[in-house]
Amino acid sequence: MSIYTTLIEFVKNLDDKINEILDRVAKLEEKRNKDFYESFNSVSDLKKKMNDISDRVSKLEEKFKIIKKGFKICRYNNRKEYTSAFHSGKITKYKLNEWIERESDCGSLAVFDTLLHVKRFLGCEYPINNAPYHVFQCEYEESKVKKIYYTNRYGDKITLSLVQVPEGTIFADRVKLIKEIDI
């Protein structure tokens, strides 16, 4: 065998090896792309599943109204009843350890999320002695109706602007006074 034949055989083998390597690289790249798109689809599927779970949680929350804790400001009237501290129309009456629901012709009941917001609303950062207001720890069910309104004796619906609603106000469908607290 001549050196020329040996060289041609060597180049053919080298060419075969290069083609083999290129085929492997192509297959690896194809697999990488497939894995990439599969992982992309997995992320997309995961997002869909998360949205589905979120929707199911929302439905459960609505079905089994979640009870939260907050604070309610009331007045104690001369008939020995706790009433809404601030009202211009109907007066909601509250009783200790009893659920009170919003009237159908009125907006949501208003509670505060923190004691700090109660104090700010009442204009103090220290205890008030002999205040006309009574502050209660309460339980509430949050409302989807995010406004406060009432129907006056003439049948007019009066809505309080959200700009007028104090910081920390939570809108509730029903409220239960738990215990009076000193601030």
- Within the chain, strands assigned E span 67-76, 82-84, 93-94, 99-101, 109-112, 133-142, 148-151, 157-160, 169-181
Residues 85 and 133 occupy one common structural domain: yes
Threshold 0.75, pTM exceeds: no
Residues 150 and 83 occupy one common structural domain: yes
Residues 108 and 176 occupy one common structural domain: yes
pLDDT digits (tens, 9 = 90+) for 98-129: 999 988 777 889 999 999 999 888 886 445 44
Residues 49 and 112 occupy one common structural domain: no
Residues 39 and 106 occupy one common structural domain: no
Residue 126 has a pLDDT of 45
Please list, in sequence order, all residues whose beta carbon lies within 8 angstroms of the beta carbon of residue 114, skipping any fewer than 6 positions away.
Answer: 71, 168
Residues 33 and 84 occupy one common structural domain: no
Residues 49 and 95 occupy one common structural domain: no
Identify the domain boundary among 42, 64, 86. 64
Residues 60 and 86 occupy one common structural domain: no
pLDDT digits (tens, 9 = 90+) for 128-145: 445 578 999 999 999 988
Give CA–CA dist 7/78, Å, rounded.
Answer: 115
Give CA–CA dist 66/35, Å, rounded.
Answer: 42
pLDDT digits (tens, 9 = 90+) for 61-96: 666 678 899 999 998 877 778 888 766 556 788 999
Number of domains in the chain: 2
Instruction: Give me the percent of the chain exceeding a pLDDT of 70.
Output: 79
Q: Which residue range forms the structural domain that includes residue 25?
A: 1-64
Residues 42 and 121 occupy one common structural domain: no
One-letter amino acid identity for 82?
Answer: Y
pLDDT digits (tens, 9 = 90+) for 139-178: 999 998 887 776 677 877 777 766 678 889 999 999 999 9
Residue 38 has a pLDDT of 66
